[in-house]
Structure 1
Amino acid sequence: MIDHILYATPDLPATVDELNRRFGVRLSPGGRHLTLGTRNYLADLGGRTYFEVLGPDRDLPDPENGRPLGIDRLTRPRLATWAARVDDVDKVVREAGERGFRFDPVVAMSRDRGDGVRLAWRAAVPAGGLTFGGVVPFLVQWESDAYAAELSVKGVGLVSLTVSHPEAATVREHLALLGLADCVTVGESAEPSLRVTLRTPAGEVALGR
């Protein structure tokens, strides 16, 4: 199941202003990631799925190893990748590894939501970072009953998520072994790409890279 869709930007305030206008709602502040030098804004898509806009927090020090998702190298906003929610991340990672698709070690993560609730989750990233250009997701197992966009703006819904890649058959195979074959549409393209269509108060909005 899709946990969240990540839209990365080099200029967070400008991008949030643009999306607020296009969506017809105001994205909700999510939180600051102190060690990553980033912060986010969120929209709840329903069913514990959410849309996340991630960009630099200029009030935080630049992280030694750079910001995630290549944000420091971006020149414009774009869909970066997506996350899949699983019930047992250790099992999924183990079984995927046995079939030749490896993940980096599972990492425990947490942050305070801002209302006194601590969010906790465990995540695993495909070995080598954004495998297949980000069209294959990283994995999230929530450890808390609360989730990231629970208190975020409502009224936005997910219509579709399409991922495309020159090796579309291989991408389909990897998604199938992760149990995610029905989550997204997979197409073939010259370059890796993602495209999401959202239902908003201002009408359908398509975002890609």
Structure 2
Amino acid sequence: MPEDAYYGPQTARAVDNFKVSNQRLPPSFIKAQAAIKMASTHANMEAGKLDSTKGNAIIRAASEVREGKFDDQFVLDAFQSGAGTSQNMNANEVIANRALEILGFEKGNYDIVHPNDHVNMSQSSNDTTHTAIHIAAVETINAELMPALAEMLIVLAEKSSEFMDIVKPGRTHLQDAVPVTLGQEFSGYAQMLELGIKGLEISLDGL
């Protein structure tokens, strides 16, 4: 184990086991995992299963992961077997070790804060991995995709107006067809994009 590592032995073994693509999971997925750890810790404290000292340290550590402070500690290949068990353990170990630091203990002192018993309490990789995919999708769609599509829709609408007087032949079945304006064509693009945005909004409800 490297001395400066926040991940632990489970992650280190998985690095050796899954040398597949040299691709990493995106930061949006890691942030989503951290959100799950924070929410689960809140629930476990409210249920009386986890004391507030450990719980608050875990929440603070997970919030730092969510801010991207430990992105370099998520070292696993994106392609793993076991429904993401190794990736889930990577998150558990990083958060546990950072929580130990926050509490004034050495990393690896798992008698105090344990990756499985405390950070992963009441969870399974079979639920957290799929939930993280949903959270990452929602956050990325809202933060990145929707604003980009909205900007593109404005541009297409502007071009539709700008090109409305430019007449061109329509095309169908590899032949010239009824004339249309270039503006009408761009209006169609805009309408398709608008319908796509509405479809995404419906998908967000499901996610």
Q: By the TM > 0.5 criterion, same fold?
A: no
TM-score by length of 1: 0.22
Max Rg structure: 2
Q: Which has the higher helix share?
A: 2
TM-score by length of 2: 0.22
Q: Which has the higher strand share?
A: 1
